[in-house]
Structure formats: structure tokens, C-alpha cells
Amino acid sequence: MADTIRLGISSCLLGNLVRYDGGHQHDRYLTDILGPYVEYIAVCPEVECGLGIPREALHLVGDPEAPRLVTTKSAIDHTERMRSWAVEHLQRLAQEDLDGFIFKKGSPSSGMERVKVYTDQSMPRKIGAGIFARTFMERFPSLPVEEDDRLYDPGLRHQASGISRFILRKSSRLSKKISTSAGSKCCPRSSLTRASIFSMGQAAL
Ligand code: SF4
């Protein structure tokens, strides 16, 4: 629907049973509070690149700027599998008119930042980004992205960082569409004015 805010989202946050252990990470704020205002396009990189459910857990190892995605016990390297799937999948997502993406915090595939990277030193350091999330952000540098828990962090809500940026992105996309249509003497009817979008954002917050 043209008027809907369209967000990509890590599939497990919607309650889908896609985690390595067959579980989920259902976030009721995202489904019950924000859900009525948005249309989600769910993505589970690990399942969709063919790793199956259940599967061995993964973690990031090596150079924090270019870490490898490796299984935690058997040390199988799935980096290239994930990267090549991501590049192909992002081609498809580019057609989806997304207004942003909500990533699962801490995931070696989907985490946006501060993901643990195991280096030669004994303790992992929270300085990486998941392989899919990193590829997504490189492919769509101007799209707003956020992690699940930051959307309802009380400190960050005052900045209204994630949700406002999703809304602004939608607003600007609609404005462009409307002015293009107006230029072609069409009379589009959009119920999603800038004011109404901001009202929605305030309600969701
Ligand atoms: S964090 Fe990402 S890869 Fe892991 S289960 Fe959720 S959607 Fe799948």
C-alpha cells in the first residue's frame, strides 16, 4: 500500500521460529504497538541463506572490520555463503520501497553495531556488525536503520531517533511521489499527510 510505512525487520522479532535453536525473539512493542502503523518485510538471513532450523550457533571472528561468520563449535566458515546471499537478496529488497530496517541486536548476522567479535585476545569485543546488516547498510547508506531495543529506550525516545527517521523517510518519499503526480496533472489522494504521519509517530511513541 502506498500510504504504509514499510520496514524490513529481523524475522525472529515478529515471533517467527527462525532462531538457531528453533525459538524466536518476539518483541511485542514492535508487533502490538508499532505494528498497526507499519508493514513489515521479514528477513532471516541465516535461514534464507540455507542454514536451516535448528542450526549450529554462529559468531564473528577475526578482524573487526572484516570479520568471518563461523559456527561456534565446528568452526565452519559461512561468510561467503551469507555475503553472496545478501547481495542477491538486497537486489530484491531494493524493489520493496523500504523506509528503513529494524535489526536484531547482537546477532552475528543481523546486529547493526556492537556485535561481539572474537579476536586472538581472550575476551570478545563488542565492536562488530552482523554480516547481513553490514551489507545492507553499505547497499542502502541513506536508509534509516535501528535495533530493536533502541526503539523503546527512554533516553533515545526523547530524540525519537529511529521511528522519526522512518516516518520522515516515508514523508519525503510520499512528497516526491505527490509532486511528481501533480506535475503530470494527476490528483492523487493520500491520507498520509506530513501532519498525520507525525501524529502516528507520537502515538507509537
Ligand atoms: S537475528 Fe537475524 S539471523 Fe538470527 S534468527 Fe533473527 S532474523 Fe534470523
Contact present, 22 and 54 (Cβ < 8 Å): yes
* Domain annotation covers residue 171: no
Share of the chain above pLDDT 70, in %: 78
Which residue, by CA, sits nearest to atom 8 of ligand 1? 44
Share of the chain above pLDDT 90, in %: 67
Q: Compute the C-alpha angle 160/34/86, nearest 5°.
A: 90
Cα first-last separation, the chain: 23
For residue 138, what are the CA distances in angstroms to 111, 120, 204?
14, 27, 29
Q: In the prediction, which pLDDT does 171 show? A: 75
Tell me if 105 CB under 6 Å of ligand 1: no
* Domain annotation covers residue 166: no
Count of the separate structural domains present in the chain: 1
Q: Residue 78 sits in which domain range?
A: 5-155
* Domain annotation covers residue 10: yes
SS3 (DSSP) at 174: helix
* Domain annotation covers residue 40: yes
Lowest pLDDT segment from 3-7, 133-137, 199-203:
199-203
Q: How far is the CA of 146 from the centre of ligand 1 (A)?
A: 15
CA dist., res. 56 & res. 71, Å (int): 6
Tell me if 49 CB under 6 Å of ligand 1: no
CA dist., res. 23 & res. 27, Å (int): 13
Lowest pLDDT segment from 73-77, 130-134, 169-173:
169-173
* Domain annotation covers residue 193: no
Residue 138 has pLDDT above 90, yes or no: yes
Tell me if 135 CB under 6 Å of ligand 1: no
pLDDT in tens, 2-34: 678 999 999 999 999 999 999 999 999 999 999
Q: In the prediction, which pLDDT does 181 show? A: 56
CA dist., res. 50 & res. 147, Å (int): 24
* Domain annotation covers residue 196: no
Q: Strand pairing partners for 65?
A: none
Q: In the prediction, which pLDDT does 168 show? A: 77
* Domain annotation covers residue 73: yes
Q: How far is the CA of 105 from the centre of ligand 1 (A)?
A: 9
Q: Strand pairing partners for 13?
A: none
- Angle between the N-to-C axes of helices 194-204 and 161-183, in degrees from 0 to 180, rounded to the nearest 10: 160
Burial pattern 22-52, b for ≥16 Cβ within 10 A else e, equals eeebebeebeeebeebbebbbbbbbbbbebe
- Determine the average pLDDT of the residues in 32-57: 96
CA dist., res. 30 & res. 182, Å (int): 35
pLDDT band of residue 117 (cuts 50, 70, 90) is: very high
Atom of ligand 1 nearest to the CA of 12: 6
Tell me if 171 CB under 6 Å of ligand 1: no
